[in-house]
Amino acid sequence: MESESEPAHSPRVTRRRARTRERILDVAEEIFGSGYQAARMEELAETADVSVGTIYVHFGNKAGLYLALAERALDQFADYLKRADRPDYSPIEKVMACGELYLRFHLEHPGSFRFLAFDGFGTELPQVDEQLRTRVGERLDDILGIFQAYIEAAIAAGEADPAYTPREVCRFLWGAWNGVVSFSLRNDRMALTDEEIATCLRLGRRLANEGLTAPRFRTPDGYSRGRLVDL
């Protein structure tokens, strides 16, 4: 049993606080799925089996909790993108692997997608601390930088066509992935199942692979030598 005099920064207390924080974030990810304004802190606290005060101790306020979710989603996705950096992949194969990893991230963390795809802070969080908002934006820039670096490496290796600007390619593909996955959020005839989204994203990988590949990195019949690897 924990001693009342146990130091506040002891390893066990630190681990317990970390577990509590993650549990709150897991529950919040589901509850915020219905929208920021509709989310009730009392419901969140009850579901996470903590007090409302505990939530405020960890995150400051409701906006701080929402931003913490955004930062966690960005950190998780950054870890996914780094998986493309494998020695058995050629530079352009690493670029294409990022598309597969985005699909994997969507399937394994569906509640985190909106934090990657949309800047809801302007409408959902009008009073949010501008410094926190800027921090999240800078983190997203860092993550896109990881992807852009893969594209730059593919061009430098002669596998991707240098006629394309890496930054523009990065933003286009990012927007395309987000656009396809956003069909999962629709409630009309345009809605897609996860299987249909996977099919569309993998078709997009084929199109991007053929479009980006430099002439010197093609087979005699004109196709890209880059493999579309499954992760």
List pLDDT tens digits, range 112-141. Answer: 877 777 654 445 555 556 777 787 788 889
d(CA 195, CA 177): 15
What percent of the chain stands above pLDDT 90? 59
Residue 226 · residue 90 · CB < 8 Å = yes
List pLDDT tens digits, range 82-108. Answer: 999 999 999 999 999 999 999 999 888
Q: What was the pLDDT predicted at 66?
A: 86
Count Cβ atoms within 10 A of the Cβ of residue 99 and give its class: 0-12 exposed, 13-18 middle, 19 or more buried.
buried
CA 227 to chain centre: 24
Domains of the chain: 1-60 (1.10.10.60), 71-217 (1.10.357.10)
Q: What was the pLDDT predicted at 8?
A: 60
Q: What was the pLDDT predicted at 2?
A: 44
Distances (CA, A) of 141 to 56, 57, 78, 106, 145: 28, 29, 11, 19, 6
Query: What is the average pLDDT value for the chain, to the nearest integer?
Result: 87
Quickly list DSSP for 33-63: GG-TTT--HHHHHHHHTS-HHHHHHHHSSHH
Show the low-confidence residues of the chain (pLDDT under 50): 1-3, 120-122
